[in-house]
Amino acid sequence: MELTVLGKYGPYGKAGGGCSSGYIVKNGDDFIVLDMGCGTLSRLMSEVDITKIKHIYISHLHYDHTSDLLVFRYLLEELSHTVNIYTHREDSSWYNILFNHPNFNVINIDENTVINIGSMELGFLPMKHTVTNYAIIIKGDKTLCYTGDTLFNDNVLKCFEESDLVLADCSKPRGFHGPHMNIEDAIRLSKQYPETKIIATHQSADYNPKDDLAGTGIISAEEKTTYTI
């Protein structure tokens, strides 16, 4: 199983080319795109043949995870290509604006949903953010969990118990209080689950956690990088 980081920043990108949240998880010939924040579409176009994209997961509806879905629709129209979008159901005008499009086949998920796509099995766990956000657990040759955006909560522990690697929203500086985990959460989790790898993502444009995570074993996500799990 492989994880490619298209964009790692939130809630906006970084001067000089940093993009907000977007990832590809590949297992054998199957792959799924996780979130499509600003700038991620052009990187996605460099990584994969767009007509081969069948599955996209959207963790929550904040702009830094969804904005490129809007321009993606122009490309899908041009290519006459339709993709499956997996996300939770929400009764909001933004949900309708984002997903109501003939080239999007929306499949709603919740914590009871299990989806099999080729060699991968997808499951979902509710997290704790300012809006509804589900983590996705992808089982293939290995198991990867992507938390989306979240504070620490008990379901984060389930992600760690089940996974070989957790791509976690845990890159805010020490002492940060907001709707995301910080590096203290990351370090505590890495000690509690030494067998589980952590890639720390959702980084702020003005703070790179790399130096503070040195020696902890936690990987600071790098854009345009592929990690083998």
Residue nearest to Zn ion (CB): 10
Judged by DSSP in three states, 64 sits in helix
- How far, in Å, are 61, 90, 144, 181, 197 from residue 221 at the CA level? 22, 30, 15, 15, 12
Of 40-48, 60-68, 91-99, 120-128, the window that binds Zn ion (rule: CB under 5 A) is: 60-68
Minimum gap (Å) between residue 3 Cβ and Zn ion: 18
Say how far apart CA 139 and CA 107 lie, in whole Å. 19
Of 58-66, 77-85, 109-117, 187-195, the window that binds Zn ion (rule: CB under 5 A) is: 58-66
The residue count for binding Zn ion (CB under 5 A) is 3
Give the nearer residue to Zn ion in terms of CB position, either 47 or 149: 149
Give the nearer residue to Zn ion in terms of CB position, either 149 or 223: 149
For residue 19, the tally of other CB atoms under 10 A from its CB is: 26
Q: Which of 35, 47, 64, 185 touches Zn ion by CB under 5 A?
A: 64
CA 126 remoteness from chain centre: 14
Of 39-47, 71-79, 143-151, 160-168, the window that binds Zn ion (rule: CB under 5 A) is: 143-151
| Buried/exposed 42-74: b ≥16 CB within 10 Å, e otherwise | ebbeebeebeebbbbbbbbbbbbbbbbbeebbe
> Roughly what angle, to the nearest 10 degrees, separates helices 40-47 and 68-79?
40
Minimum gap (Å) between residue 148 Cβ and Zn ion: 8
Spatial CA neighbour of 202 closest among 5, 7, 2, 9: 9
Give the nearer residue to Zn ion in terms of CB position, either 62 or 197: 62
Binding to Zn ion (CB under 5 A): which residues in 147-166? 149
> Which run of H or of E encompasses 180?
none
Binding to Zn ion (CB under 5 A): which residues in 7-26? 10
Told to check if 68 binds Zn ion by CB under 5 A, we report: no
Task: Give the residues lining the site for Zn ion (CB under 5 A).
Answer: 10, 64, 149
